[in-house]
Amino acid sequence: MTQYLLSVIHAPGLPHLTEDEIQQSFVDTGAFNDEIVASGHFVFAGGLEPVTAASVVDNTQGANVITDGPYVETKEALGGFWVIEAADLDEARAIAARGSFACKNIVEVRPFQGVVELEGARA
């Protein structure tokens, strides 16, 4: 099975959700998480703090430069993600569609190039 990154995109212009709808999306996302764990597709998932909590580290030239804020100034932001295993892209897209419906956000699907497993790494 191939691993896929399902990125939850927070974008302006999406329908505004009421507080009750936001709370329901949390419940629905929890149920979706339970579904993909039970089906064997779940690998890892996490929600992210807002982009205002981001730092950018650039040590590409050997002069470690750290700046506050996101790397790219954009309206859209990565809000969270799932890493799943699926038989193929069609299955991954079908899973992403259920995740998008649950969390009420756009979900981008991208296959991993390959998975590197390091001896002694935490699972």
For residue 11, pLDDT over 80 is answered with: no
Out of 12-16, 21-25, 66-70, 109-113, least confident range: 12-16
Domains, the chain, ordered by start: 2-111 (3.30.70.1060)
Q: Dihedral of the CA atoms 97, 114, 117, 55 (nearest 10)?
A: -70
Please compute the mean of the pLDDT values over residues 75-100 and round it to a whole number. 95
Residue from 113, 114, 82, 111 nearest 98 by CA: 82
Percent of the chain scored above 90 by pLDDT?
61
Q: How far apart are CA 18 and CA 21, in angstroms?
A: 5
- At residue 98, φ and ψ (nearest 5 deg) are -70, -40
> pLDDT, tens digit, for every residue of 30-56?
999 999 999 999 999 999 988 888 899
Question: Between 15 and 68, whose confidence is greater?
Answer: 68
Cβ neighbours of 83 (radius 10 Å): 16
Q: State residue 109's pLDDT score.
A: 98
- What is the residue-averaged pLDDT of the chain? 89
Percent of the chain scored above 70 by pLDDT?
91
Q: How far apart are CA 98 and CA 100, in angstroms?
A: 5
